[in-house]
């Protein structure tokens, strides 16, 4: 069921002549962290989590939606049921661009029941949100259409993103030229992993990190383990970024990335200690900026 809301009337009208390609802006780390602070407060006020079917998830969704509505996005809430509880996806379309060439970025907004889920996956949700808000601030008018999404019930098995893809017509699936996924991008002992699914998307992210002189590794831990999988399964080109979960950082990885060898990338993965204290600011900042770079370059 689609519940469409948002400030369509307030949407910024697409300019008659799209602006020339602008360089991607810096995504302010302070803004991304402010979203994480809000998500932490929401979890604290709702039984300590933001899990599917709980009040903390819907409060998280309402927070993100309000920011996007105020910025001029056309937002849609997609409702579904999983494990006898109601779940929600939030879809935000930036007015303008070629509807037959849609560049999407998304992240799951739900946490596990054991904690606030600030790295998993407040980090991805906040980075995607602030990138969407940067598009609005810039009045960016790319050739392609931009769509952003926040998924429900990922922790139950990619339920929300699978529901979205399953309910797209084949024509609408074909209109998506790429889907970029961010799931855990602020891990406290971070690695810099780039999904190696669609070459053009992978190269765009690698180019960004190369520009910073930061080596990356291909992401192998997560094949099929996050919300890019339902898109990949129907032939949509996908990519994404990941800073690591419960795998252990090797000495070689610590030598190139810093941090601590012999410890997990995120030792609070799926635990109650996944709070705002469980974030590496540098990783969060770099991954948010990398997403903005990819959005600007893939939608031009
Ligand atoms: N499935 C994600 C965490 C996760 C584990 N490995 C990867 C690799 C790529 C992206 C995400 C992940 C979750 O627990 O939400
Ligand atoms: Ca930044
Ligand atoms: Zn998780
Ligand atoms: Zn996750």
Quick one: angle between helices 281-299 and 199-212, nearest 10?
Answer: 130
Residue 273 sits at the vertex; the CA angle it makes with 272 and 277, to the nearest 5 degrees, is: 145
CA atoms within 13 A on the CB side of 188: 15
Which parts of the chain register pLDDT below 70? 1-22
Residues touching ligand 1 (Cβ under 6 Å) are 120-121, 154-155, 183-184, 219, 221-222, 225-226, 242, 245
Boundaries of domain holding 108: 29-299
Contact 209, 215 (CB under 8 A): yes
> Does residue 271 form part of some domain?
yes
Distance CA(172)–CA(62), nearest Å, equals 26
Q: What is the pLDDT of residue 228?
A: 98
Q: What is the pLDDT of residue 136?
A: 98
Of these residues, 130, 154, 155, 219, which one is catalytic? 154
Provide CB contacts within 8 A for 168, sequence distance 6+.
234
- Whole-number Å distance, alpha carbon 225 to ligand 1 midpoint, is 5
Going by alpha carbons, the residue nearest to atom 9 of ligand 1 is 222
Q: What is the pLDDT of residue 141?
A: 97
Q: What is the pTM for the complete model shown?
A: 0.93
The helix or strand, by DSSP H or E, that contains position 130, with its residue range, turns out to be: helix 124-138
User: Tokens 């540098």 map to which residue?
Assistant: 282
Q: What CATH number has the domain bearing residue 293?
A: 3.40.630.10
Distance CA(11)–CA(175), nearest Å, equals 22
- Whole-number Å distance, alpha carbon 222 to ligand 1 midpoint, is 5
| Ligand 1 atom, smallest distance to 108 CA | 15
pLDDT digits 0-9 by tens, 23-80? 999 999 999 999 999 999 999 999 999 999 999 999 999 999 999 999 999 999 999 9
Number of domains comprising the chain: 1
> Does residue 24 form part of some domain?
no
- Whole-number Å distance, alpha carbon 22 to ligand 3 midpoint, is 35
154 is a catalytic site residue: yes
> Does residue 16 form part of some domain?
no
What residues flank ion ligand 3 with Cβ within 5 A? Answer: 120
> Does residue 121 form part of some domain?
yes
> Does residue 174 form part of some domain?
yes
> Does residue 262 form part of some domain?
yes
Phi, psi (deg, nearest 5) at residue 18? -50, 140
Distance CA(71)–CA(79), nearest Å, equals 23
> Does residue 3 form part of some domain?
no
> Does residue 103 form part of some domain?
yes
Q: How many residues are recorded in the chain? A: 300
Q: What is the pLDDT of residue 1?
A: 41
DSSP character for 35? H
Provide CB contacts within 8 A for 129, sequence distance 6+.
35, 64, 67, 68, 148, 150
The bridge status of strand 74-82 relative to strand 2-6 is antiparallel
């Amino acid at each position: 069921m689609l519940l469409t809301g948002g400030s369509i009337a307030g949407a910024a009208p697409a300019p008659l002549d799209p602006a020339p390609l602008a360089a991607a802006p810096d995504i302010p780390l302070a803004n991304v962290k402010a979203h994480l602070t809000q998500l932490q407060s929401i979890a604290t006020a709702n039984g300590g989590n933001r899990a599917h079917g709980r009040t903390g998830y819907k409060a998280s969704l309402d927070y993100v939606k309000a920011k996007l509505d105020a910025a001029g996005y056309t937002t849609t809430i997609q409702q579904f049921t999983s494990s006898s509880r109601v779940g929600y996806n939030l879809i935000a379309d930036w007015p303008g661009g070629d509807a037959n060439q849609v560049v999407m970025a998304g992240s799951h907004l739900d946490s596990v029941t054991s904690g606030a889920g600030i790295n998993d996956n407040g980090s991805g949700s906040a980075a995607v949100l602030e990138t969407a808000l940067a598009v609005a601030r810039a009045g960016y008018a790319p050739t392609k259409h931009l769509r952003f999404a926040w998924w429900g019930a990922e922790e139950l098995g990619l339920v929300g993103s699978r529901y979205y893809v399953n309910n797209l017509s084949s024509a609408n699936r074909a209109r998506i030229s790429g889907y970029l996924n961010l799931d855990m991008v602020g891990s406290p002992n971070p690695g810099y992993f780039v999904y190696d699914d669609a070459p053009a998307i992978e190269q765009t992210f690698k180019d960004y990190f190369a520009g910073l002189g930061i080596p990356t590794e291909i992401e192998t831990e997560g094949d099929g383990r996050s919300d890019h999988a339902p898109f990949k399964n129907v032939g949509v080109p996908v990519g994404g970024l990941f800073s690591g979960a419960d795998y252990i950082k090797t000495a070689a990885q610590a030598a190139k990335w810093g941090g601590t060898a012999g410890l997990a990338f995120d030792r609070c993965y799926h635990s109650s200690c996944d709070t705002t204290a469980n974030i590496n600011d540098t990783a969060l900042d770099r991954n948010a900026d990398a997403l903005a770079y990819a959005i600007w370059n893939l939608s031009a």
